[in-house]
Amino acid sequence: MGTIVHVELTSPDPQASADFYARAFGWDSTASPFLPDYLTSRTGDGSGIDAAIMSSRYQEQKTILWIEVPDIADAVTAVEAAGGTAGEFHDLPGQGRVGYVTDPAGVVIGLKQPA
């Protein structure tokens, strides 16, 4: 079963958006060392999920949910069998294998196989 583990918000001005979420909800955002205009955001303590705010030049969809899967290859096979499509995947240091798929309606979904 795929569990939602992360959400990405896109913005033409990621820092301004991060400032908004900090003021409105107390999020603590930090620039990613791996990707320009990408900030990781702690959304609070407890059982919630954390987020990221990234430039809309990376993805145009305003909100992207991320699903953790035990095996990316198996997940891609299942996505394609269900009518979706898969994009490129890569290893993110210290995190695991990540990439995007698209459902039949065109909704972008992130997949993560933990390291």
Q: Can you read off the two tokens belonging to residue 96?
A: 């695991």
Give pLDDT, residue 1: 65
Residue 55 CA to residue 53 CA, distance in Å, equals 7
- pLDDT digit string (tens) for 77-100? 999 999 999 999 999 999 999 999
Q: Can you read off the two tokens belonging to residue 31?
A: 């620039």
pTM over 0.75: yes
- pLDDT digit string (tens) for 44-79? 887 779 999 999 999 989 999 999 999 999 999 999
Checking DSSP bridges between strand 108-114 and strand 63-68, what pairing results, if any?
Answer: parallel
- Average pLDDT of 27-35? 93
Q: How many Cα atoms sit within 13 Å of 91 on the Cβ side?
A: 3
- Domains in the chain with CATH codes: 8-57 (3.10.180.10), 69-115 (3.10.180.10)
Residue 85 CA to residue 76 CA, distance in Å, equals 8
- Average pLDDT of 14-22? 92
Q: Report whether pLDDT(36) > 90.
A: yes
